[in-house]
């Protein structure tokens, strides 16, 4: 019998369309410019194109229901009828408008004033594990009942079947779905709802089987995180109940890390297949193979679903050879480590990218081609794909030696790093005196986080400049006008520490990436961040250096207009790293050190130019935390070291600020303190300053600017609201530590909202100063 190749699976495929069709269709529908039918047609066309793309490239197990109009977790919530009362759902099929109201809030509300329908805020949104994809957080009532309220997985299976394509439907697993959600009003652990949810999944699975599905992929990435015994037992019970003869065979998919101490649990489940991530956790292969039943199909996640580099096919073949021999070709499948929604669709869409760099890359389409090569090699032998393997080897060798990748001066500098470079000259208390003498700030100094509104005019000018329709000098003239107006206005309303406004920046990471060597940018390599928002993360392909100053000129211009201090404004190395595709031939910690050195040079140049305060934003520091708590330490150690390396080159009298967006600080407060910044601004208004408990309990010594107004909302806060918040902050911290600022940058707001809000904020600070108790702690 002729050999057939090994089974190839994809777990999930990019769903935004080749030319971002989904985004445009959604936005047009939301704007009332097109009908529901038109939107659904675009969605169906994307699904079809995806299935055909995969079929043509030899994918054996083609997923269905991996498509989503907005978010797959939201789809799951709707599927099981977890629709909070606020959305006015009364049973039956959940309408598209209810679905979008859950995703985005409904603005049409309030007209009748009853509050019972029409107006509801969106569900919360948060990061999907440690990726930059954001999902809608399911919300359950205490007595949540579930029922099958959408047949989407069955419909999409049948839709593919109509096209003659047999698919393997994908579901977010019930345990992961619940663990990612929350029970309203502090109602306990959502995993307790599992027994109620399982019958709904069972009903759906029976429906899939009746429709002809022989396998189903159930994603339970929660199994790579820390679980307690009760959770494990609940999961075991759920799968015992679920996996019966009347449902399709279950391929349980785990990804983003090793199963670790959940391996025994997984091995005990009555599943027919198990997918494991061998990119993030190649070392788990032996343990997994030794623990799971012999007749269980192992899906090997060998191609990186989270990054964009061509794989080392030889290494993969070596790694799985023994398993292939042991289990036979029917006992294994190969796949990307996780769904491919985390990478762009097709390299062919980047004709303008440097061809050498392109040769190193692999997007979703290229990844399934790599899998096809592997699948052939694993059945017919390597000789059969000798040409492809040789070519891949040559490309890797070329990349390793490329002058684009290797910058000897960067490497020498990294080798000569010593610990003193990440230490300020003096400890905080001494620096504080030096800075107080130099800066002479009032108590409760007022400032902002950096950016001011990026008006349509600024965005249009940047786009026109990008297209070559507006000269650099005309573009910069506009930017100077904006900056000058912002400085004048900040002086007028009486802010103490000014910012230049960041009008010249497209994005806080991209701006720096475009000025550093070792970074590449794409034109069309979009990746879904959430809903219809897609991003094009920078690609860090080589050693990072700073050929010239990046921000000094803008800072100098702004400072020349005023006697008040203007903060230098930089993005920190950890944030730049965490929001990019990072090269896979060097440890992340080392790449981060290179970025740290480059930003450090800018810090020193800003100081030399006269900046007395420099802010280094680390919005994404906490986001980079590994999924397992046991690995936090190692990450935080190098992340904090990189921040310090960036910041520590300045004199005691130069004040280093940092800013972090919403973060649970409790469990990382030691690391925050170890960053040793002189002032940190954080997002606290929505938590009513509760986030400050961590700083109080730790006796955090340095300056803190707890955000006093929520910049995510257009609402203008009253003076009294802000003084009340600062009073709450004063209960937790020394008044002398406190700075007054908004939660985050203001670039997404309108001037009409920002102006009155900041006027009120300054007034709030003045009221506090005028009170007696304020002067006591100064
Ligand atoms: N300085 C940046 C700004 O104000 C910080 C943004 C952020 O932390 N997300 O836009
Ligand atoms: Zn922020």
Pair type for strands 539-545 and 517-520: antiparallel
> Which listed ligand is nearest to 710 at the C-alpha?
2
Span from the CA of 544 to the centroid of ligand 1 (angstroms) = 22
Cβ atoms of 493 and 98 closer than 8 Å: no
The helix (run of H) or strand (run of E) holding residue 543 is strand 539-545
Q: How confident is the model at residue 116 (pLDDT cuts 50, 70, 90)?
A: very low
327 CB-contact burial (10 Å; exposed 0-12 / middle 13-18 / buried 19+): middle
Domain ranges of the chain: 7-72+124-401, 85-122, 445-509+550-777
> Which listed ligand is nearest to 512 at the C-alpha?
1
Q: How confident is the model at residue 110 (pLDDT cuts 50, 70, 90)?
A: very low
Q: Nearest CA to 484 among 460, 500, 473, 461?
A: 500
The helix (run of H) or strand (run of E) holding residue 432 is helix 428-439
Nearest CA to ligand 1 atom 6: 745
Rounded to an integer, the average pLDDT of 713-724 is 93
Looking at the CA of residue 571, tell me the nearest atom of ligand 1. Answer: 1
Query: Could you read off the pLDDT of 241-261 as tens digits, one per residue?
Result: 999 889 999 999 999 999 999
Give the position of tokens 């989270």. Answer: 306
- The percent of residues above 70 in pLDDT, for the chain, comes to 97
Cβ atoms of 62 and 160 closer than 8 Å: yes
Probe target for ligand 1 pocket from 447, 448, 450, with the most ligand atoms within 8 Å of CB: 450
Span from the CA of 748 to the centroid of ligand 1 (angstroms) = 10
CA distance 568 to 555: 6
Query: Could you read off the pLDDT of 525-564 as tens digits, one per residue?
Result: 999 999 999 999 999 999 999 999 999 999 999 999 999 9
pTM equals: 0.95
Cβ atoms of 539 and 609 closer than 8 Å: no
Q: 283: which residues sit within 8 A by CB, 6+ positions away?
A: 258
Q: How confident is the model at residue 115 (pLDDT cuts 50, 70, 90)?
A: very low
Q: How confident is the model at residue 661 (pLDDT cuts 50, 70, 90)?
A: confident
Q: Is the pLDDT of residue 773 over 80?
A: no
Predicted local confidence at residue 714, as pLDDT: 86
Q: Nearest CA to 213 among 159, 253, 173, 254?
A: 159
Query: Could you read off the pLDDT of 284-295 as tens digits, one per residue?
Result: 999 999 999 999
Name the average pLDDT for the chain.
94
Span from the CA of 501 to the centroid of ligand 2 (angstroms) = 14
Rounded to an integer, the average pLDDT of 696-701 is 95
Q: How confident is the model at residue 120 (pLDDT cuts 50, 70, 90)?
A: confident
Span from the CA of 720 to the centroid of ligand 1 (angstroms) = 26
Nearest CA to ligand 1 atom 8: 619
CA distance 299 to 301: 6
Is it true that 7-72+124-401 and 445-509+550-777 share their CATH fold?
Answer: yes
7-72+124-401 has which fold?
TIM Barrel (3.20.20)
Nearest CA to ligand 1 atom 3: 745
Pocket-forming residues, ligand 1, beta carbon under 6 Å? 449-451, 502, 508, 569, 617, 619, 659, 661, 744-745, 747
Rounded to an integer, the average pLDDT of 123-131 is 92
Q: Where are the beta strands (DSSP E) in 65-112?
A: none
Predicted local confidence at residue 287, as pLDDT: 97
CA distance 133 to 12: 14
C-alpha to C-alpha distances, 197 to 9, 175, 201, 265, nearest whole angstrom:
28, 9, 7, 20
Q: Is the pLDDT of residue 449 over 70?
A: yes
Nearest CA to ligand 1 atom 4: 745
Q: How confident is the model at residue 5 (pLDDT cuts 50, 70, 90)?
A: confident
Query: Could you read off the pLDDT of 54-76 as tens digits, one per residue?
Result: 999 999 999 999 999 999 999 99
Looking at the CA of residue 451, tell me the nearest atom of ligand 1. Answer: 4
Probe target for ligand 1 pocket from 453, 616, 617, with the most ligand atoms within 8 Å of CB: 617
Looking at the CA of residue 450, tell me the nearest atom of ligand 1. Answer: 4
CA distance 616 to 512: 12
> Which listed ligand is nearest to 661 at the C-alpha?
2
Predicted local confidence at residue 106, as pLDDT: 78
Span from the CA of 660 to the centroid of ligand 2 (angstroms) = 5
Nearest CA to ligand 1 atom 1: 450
Q: Is the pLDDT of residue 8 over 70?
A: yes
Q: Nearest CA to 592 among 608, 576, 609, 610?
A: 576
Query: Could you read off the pLDDT of 573-619 as tens digits, one per residue?
Result: 999 999 999 999 999 999 999 999 999 999 999 999 999 999 999 99
Predicted local confidence at residue 663, as pLDDT: 74
Span from the CA of 104 to the centroid of ligand 2 (angstroms) = 21
**Pick the catalytic residue: 166, 275, 659, 712?**
712
Q: Is the pLDDT of residue 109 over 60?
A: no
* Helix and strand element counts for the chain (H, E): 28, 22
The helix (run of H) or strand (run of E) holding residue 125 is strand 125-127
Cβ atoms of 758 and 707 closer than 8 Å: no
Looking at the CA of residue 505, tell me the nearest atom of ligand 1. Answer: 10
Cβ atoms of 739 and 444 closer than 8 Å: yes
CA distance 99 to 69: 9
The helix (run of H) or strand (run of E) holding residue 488 is helix 472-493
Q: What are phi and psi of 361, to 5 degrees?
A: -100, 160
> Which listed ligand is nearest to 617 at the C-alpha?
1
Looking at the CA of residue 448, tell me the nearest atom of ligand 1. Answer: 4
Q: Is the pLDDT of residue 3 over 60?
A: no
445-509+550-777 has which fold?
TIM Barrel (3.20.20)
Longest dimension (CA), the chain: 92
Predicted local confidence at residue 2, as pLDDT: 45
Predicted local confidence at residue 772, as pLDDT: 59
CA distance 38 to 35: 5
Span from the CA of 599 to the centroid of ligand 2 (angstroms) = 19
584 CB-contact burial (10 Å; exposed 0-12 / middle 13-18 / buried 19+): middle
Nearest CA to ligand 1 atom 7: 619
641 CB-contact burial (10 Å; exposed 0-12 / middle 13-18 / buried 19+): buried
Cβ atoms of 501 and 452 closer than 8 Å: yes
Nearest CA to ligand 1 atom 10: 745
The helix (run of H) or strand (run of E) holding residue 167 is strand 167-172
Looking at the CA of residue 508, tell me the nearest atom of ligand 1. Answer: 2
712 is catalytic: yes
Probe target for ligand 1 pocket from 127, 449, 558, 599, with the most ligand atoms within 8 Å of CB: 449
C-alpha to C-alpha distances, 569 to 255, 346, 512, 576, 758, nearest whole angstrom:
37, 35, 11, 14, 19
CA distance 211 to 284: 36
Rounded to an integer, the average pLDDT of 293-318 is 97
CA distance 559 to 259: 53
Probe target for ligand 1 pocket from 453, 657, 681, 744, with the most ligand atoms within 8 Å of CB: 744
Predicted local confidence at residue 403, as pLDDT: 96
Cβ atoms of 198 and 173 closer than 8 Å: no
CB crowding 453-488: b at 16 or more within 10 Å, else e? bbeeebeebbeebeeeebeeeebbebbbebbbebbe
Span from the CA of 74 to the centroid of ligand 1 (angstroms) = 28
CA distance 606 to 604: 5
């Amino acid at each position: 019998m002729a050999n057939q190749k090994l089974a190839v699976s994809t777990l999930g495929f990019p769903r935004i369309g080749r030319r971002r069709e989904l985004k445009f269709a959604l936005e047009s529908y939301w704007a009332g410019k097109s009908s529901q039918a038109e939107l659904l047609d675009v969605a169906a066309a994307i699904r079809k194109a995806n299935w055909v793309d995969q079929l043509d490239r030899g994918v054996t197990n083609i997923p269905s229901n991996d498509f989503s109009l907005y978010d797959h977790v939201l789809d799951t919530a709707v599927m099981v009828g977890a629709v909070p009362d606020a959305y006015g759902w009364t049973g039956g099929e959940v309408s598209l408008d209810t679905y979008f109201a859950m995703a985005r809030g409904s603005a049409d509300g309030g007209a009748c004033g009853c509050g019972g329908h029409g107006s509801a805020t969106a569900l919360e949104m948060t990061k999907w594990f440690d990726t930059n994809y954001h999902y809608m957080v399911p919300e359950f009532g205490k007595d949540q009942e579930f029922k099958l309220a959408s047949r989407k997985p069955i419909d999409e299976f049948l839709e593919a079947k109509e096209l003659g394509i047999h698919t393997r439907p994908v579901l977010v697993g019930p345990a992961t779905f619940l663990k990612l959600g929350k029970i309203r009003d502090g109602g306990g652990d959502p995993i307790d709802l599992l027994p109620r949810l399982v019958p709904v999944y069972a009903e759906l699975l029976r429906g899939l089987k009746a429709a002809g599905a022989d396998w189903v992929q159930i994603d339970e990435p929660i199994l790579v995180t820390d679980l307690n015994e009760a959770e494990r037992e609940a999961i075991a019970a759920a799968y015992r109940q679920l996996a019966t003869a009347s449902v399709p065979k279950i391929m349980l998919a785990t990804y983003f890390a090793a199963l670790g101490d959940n391996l025994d649990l997984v091995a005990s489940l009555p599943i027919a297949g198990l997918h494991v991530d061998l990119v993030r956790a190649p070392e788990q292969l032996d343990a997994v193979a030794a623990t799971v039943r012999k007749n269980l199909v192992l899906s090997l996640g060998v191609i990186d679903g989270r990054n964009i580099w061509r794989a080392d096919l030889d290494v993969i073949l070596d790694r799985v050879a023994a398993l292939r021999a042991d289990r036979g070709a029917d006992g294994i499948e190969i796949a990307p480590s996780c769904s491919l929604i985390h990478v762009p669709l097709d390299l062919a869409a980047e004709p303008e990218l440097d061809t050498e760099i392109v040769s190193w890359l692999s997007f979703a389409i290229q990844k399934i081609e790599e899998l096809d090569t592997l699948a052939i090699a694993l059945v017919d032998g390597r000789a059969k794909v000798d040409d492809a393997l040789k070519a891949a080897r040559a490309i890797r060798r070329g990349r390793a030696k490329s002058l684009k990748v290797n910058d000897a001066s960067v490497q020498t500098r990294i080798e000569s790093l010593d610990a003193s470079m990440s230490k300020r000259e003096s400890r905080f208390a001494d620096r504080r005196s030096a800075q107080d003498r130099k800066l002479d700030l009032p108590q409760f100094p007022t400032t902002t986080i950096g950016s001011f509104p990026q008006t349509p005019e600024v965005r249009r000018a940047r786009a026109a400049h990008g297209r070559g329709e507006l000269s650099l000098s005309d573009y910069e003239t506009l930017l100077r006008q904006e900056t000058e107006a912002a400085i004048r206005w900040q002086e007028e309303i009486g802010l103490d520490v000014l910012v230049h406004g960041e009008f010249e920046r497209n994005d806080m990471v991209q701006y720096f990436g475009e000025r550093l060597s070792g970074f590449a940018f794409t034109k069309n390599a979009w990746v879904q961040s959430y809903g219809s928002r897609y991003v094009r993360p920078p690609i860090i392909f080589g050693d990072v250096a700073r050929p010239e100053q990046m921000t000094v000129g803008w800072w100098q211009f702004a400072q020349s207009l005023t006697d008040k201090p203007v903060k230098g404004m930089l993005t920190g190395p950890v944030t730049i790293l965490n929001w990019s595709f990072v090269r896979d031939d060097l440890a992340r910690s080392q790449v981060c050190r290179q970025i740290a050195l480059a930003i450090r040079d800018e810090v020193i140049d800003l100081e030399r130019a006269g900046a007395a305060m420099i802010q280094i934003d680390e919005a994404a520091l906490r986001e980079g935390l590994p999924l397992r708590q046991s690995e936090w330490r190692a990450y935080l150690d190098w992340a904090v070291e990189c921040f310090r390396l960036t910041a520590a080159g300045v004199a005691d009298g130069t004040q280093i600020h940092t800013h972090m967006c919403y973060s649970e600080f409790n469990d990382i407060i030691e690391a925050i303190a170890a960053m040793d910044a002189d002032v940190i601004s954080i997002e606290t208004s929505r938590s009513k300053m509760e986030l400050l408990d961590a700083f109080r309990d730790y006796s955090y010594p340095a300056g803190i600017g707890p955000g006093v107004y929520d910049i995510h909302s257009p609402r203008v806060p009253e003076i009294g609201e802000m003084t009340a918040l600062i009073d709450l902050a004063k209960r937790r911290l020394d008044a002398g530590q406190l700075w007054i600022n908004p939660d985050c940058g203001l670039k997404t707001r309108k001037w009409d909202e920002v102006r009155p809000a900041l006027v009120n904020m300054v007034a709030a600070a003045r009221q506090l100063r005028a009170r007696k108790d304020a002067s006591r702690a100064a």
